[in-house]
Amino acid sequence: MQGLSGSCGLSLSAAAILAALSTAAPAQAPDDAAARAARIAAEGIRIGSPLGAGDDPQTAVAQPEASAKPSANLNTSIEGRLGPYGDPYGLRSFLKSKGIEYSLTYIGESFGNATGGSRRGAIYEGRLDFQFDADLDKLMGWQGATLHSNLYQIHGTGLSRYYVNNFITVSAIEALPSSRLYEFWLDQKFFDGQLSIKVGQIASDTEFAVSQTGTLFINSTFGWPNIMAVVIPSGGPIYPLAVPAVRAKYVPNQNFSLQVGVFDGDPAGPPRIDNDPDPQRRNRTGTNFRTNDPALVIAEAAYAYNIAQGDLGDPGTVTLGGWHHFGRFDSLRFDDTGGRLADSSTTGIARRFRGDSGLYGIIDQTIYREPDDPNDGASVFLRLSGSPTDRNLLDFYLDAGIAYKGLFKGRSDDTVGIAFALSRISRSARGFDLDSILATGIPGQRRSSEAVLEATYQAVLGPGITLQPDFQYVFRPGGGIANPHDPNGARIRNAAVFGLRGIVRY
pLDDT for 431 equals: 95
Q: Are 232 and 324 in contact (CB under 8 A)?
A: no
Q: Are 446 and 342 in contact (CB under 8 A)?
A: no
CATH 2.40.160.180 at 4-505, yes or no:
yes
pTM of the model: 0.91
pLDDT for 19 equals: 47
CA distances 421 to 75, 271, 474, Å, are 28, 29, 10
The per-residue DSSP string of 353-421 comes to EEEEEEEEEEEEEEEEEETTEEEEEEEEEEEEEE--TTS-SEEEEEEEEEEEES-STT-TT-EEEEEEE
Cα 203 to Cα 201: distance, rounded to the nearest angstrom: 7
CA distances 213 to 43, 186, 448, 474, Å, are 19, 28, 28, 21
Q: How far is CA 111 from the centre of its chain?
A: 18
Cα 369 to Cα 324: distance, rounded to the nearest angstrom: 38
Q: Are 323 and 356 in contact (CB under 8 A)?
A: no
Q: Are 197 and 246 in contact (CB under 8 A)?
A: yes
pLDDT for 23 equals: 47
SS3 state of residue 40:
helix
SS3 state of residue 146:
strand
* Torsion over CA: 29, 30, 34, 40 (sign): positive
pLDDT for 499 equals: 98
pLDDT for 21 equals: 44
The angle formed by the CA atoms of residues 200, 203 and 205, to the nearest 5 degrees, is: 150
Identity at 243, one-letter amino acid code = V
Query: Tens place of pLDDT for every residue, the chain, 506 residues?
Result: 444 344 444 344 444 444 444 444 444 545 577 776 777 777 778 899 989 999 999 999 999 999 999 999 888 999 999 988 899 999 999 999 999 999 999 999 999 999 999 999 999 999 999 999 999 999 999 999 999 999 999 999 999 999 999 999 999 999 999 999 999 999 999 999 999 999 999 999 999 999 999 999 999 999 999 999 999 999 999 999 999 999 999 999 999 999 999 999 999 998 888 788 899 999 999 999 999 999 999 999 999 999 998 888 999 999 999 999 999 999 999 999 999 999 988 898 999 999 999 999 999 999 999 998 999 999 999 999 999 999 999 999 999 999 999 999 989 999 999 999 999 999 999 999 999 999 998 888 999 999 999 999 999 999 999 999 999 999 999 999 999 999 888 999 999 999 999 999 99
Residue 450, phi then psi, degrees to nearest 5 = -125, 145
Cα 79 to Cα 280: distance, rounded to the nearest angstrom: 34
- The candidate with the shortest Cα–Cα distance to 77, out of 12, 25, 132, 147, is 25
Q: Are 456 and 450 in contact (CB under 8 A)?
A: no
Cα 476 to Cα 449: distance, rounded to the nearest angstrom: 7
- The candidate with the shortest Cα–Cα distance to 500, out of 477, 475, 466, is 466
So where are the chain's domains? 4-505
> 289, exposed or middle or buried, with CB in 10 Å at 0-12, 13-18, 19+?
middle
pLDDT for 293 equals: 96
